Amino acid sequence: LYPGNTWLQVGPVAESLPFAWRALRRAPISNSSAACITAFVLLHLFAARWSYSFVPYDALVPALATERNHFDRLVHLAFGALAMAPVVEAGV
């Protein structure tokens, strides 16, 4: 929808992947933490495709359809939940 903003949303994640790869080689993590990080990145890239507020989730799940698009709230909740396992494992 806003191609100029897509790089602003995806760029920091894309630029951090080489650093994350190097960090994972030095300090391996569990498969569950790796799955959480992977889901986090994929969910972020999926949401950034439509600039969060315009993700057509109501077309995929009609029961969730409302006047306001709450996908951004759902994604931020999921980000917090997906970050828990890696953060706890890292001991931060």
- In angstroms, the CA 16 to CA 10 distance is 10
Model pTM score: 0.72
Distance CA 68, CA 81 (A): 23
Using the Cα atoms of residue 51, residue 2, residue 9 and residue 13 in order, give the sign of their dihedral.
Answer: positive
User: Residue written as tokens 């999921």?
Assistant: 78
Mean pLDDT taken over the chain: 82
Residue 36 binned pLDDT confidence (cut-offs 50, 70, 90): very high
Which tens digits make up the pLDDT trace of 12-33?
Answer: 888 988 988 888 888 888 999 9
